Amino acid sequence: MAKLIKYEMKGSFKEFLGLILTIIAANVLLIFKKGVWKEETIILLSCAIVGISLVIIFSWNIKVFSKELNDDTGYLLYTLPVSSNSLLVSKLVTAFIQFLSILILNFIFIYFMLTSKISINLIGAIRSVNPIFITIKIFNSIVGYVGFLCVIYFSITLSKVALKRKKKLSKLGSWIVFIGICLGISSLSEMLERLIPYSIPINVMKFNSNITINSFKVQSLTGDLYIVSIILDVVVAIVFFLLTSYLIREKLDL
């Protein structure tokens, strides 16, 4: 597994490094423009860098998977003596590591951009957050992201299996399959939430804790955890992971 992940990371290392250097250069430029440009303009451009860079890395993860399936060199990877589950896990882990790395890098620059505008004790704020809430949210975010990738990978693989060597139709078909699945999942989620409208209220902040933002004390926040939604995200991730793995193992003709 580790070798597969290393192989995946190595395959896109130059592009990934290039994106990181571009993000650093763009944000450093914005830092030097502080006091010259309006503060609102700098923050807006910084947020734009975040959005664009996350879209780019996400698109790369999809493009690499699609390219390996549709190019003639795909058989070099998909005929390796490893299980389809291991192969798919390595791709998902690599995609998540890259996405998280870009997210953290952007967060660091956003923090330095905002601290001059908003007075906030970051360490104190983190310590004030309810660990149960943050753990559930992190878990749900990871499952949601992985599940979304699994749906996309399944759509690409199913279209490849169904349309064989017709590359152009295969790409169009994957979009149609993806949109259909997303609409189906959305409808199912709404139906389940109507049938089982239960949520668990949870404190975002620890009891008897507060943080100060620009002299304004935030003492208590609550959020609702929709159990059905969380369970559905887990089921979607597992089901489409297994379906994609099965298609790669049994139906893919490279």
Report the pLDDT value the prediction gives residue 193, as an integer from 0 to 100.
81
Helix axes 84-115, 227-246, angle to 10 degrees: 130
Band (180; pLDDT cuts 50, 70, 90) = very high
> What tokens were used for 233?
């995200």
Report the pLDDT value the prediction gives residue 247, as an integer from 0 to 100.
87
Band (41; pLDDT cuts 50, 70, 90) = confident
**Averaged confidence pLDDT in the chain:** 79
Fill in the amino acid letter for 47: C
| Mean pLDDT, residues 230-238 | 91
Is the torsion defined by CA of 97, 98, 102, 105 positive or negative? positive
What does the pLDDT look like over 208-230, one tens digit per residue?
555 544 444 444 566 677 788 88
Least confident span in 79-83, 128-132, 152-156, 230-234: 79-83
Pairing of strands 211-213, 222-226: unpaired
Band (248; pLDDT cuts 50, 70, 90) = confident
pTM of structure: 0.80
What does the pLDDT look like over 55-110, one tens digit per residue?
999 888 888 888 777 665 555 555 666 777 888 888 899 888 999 999 999 888 88
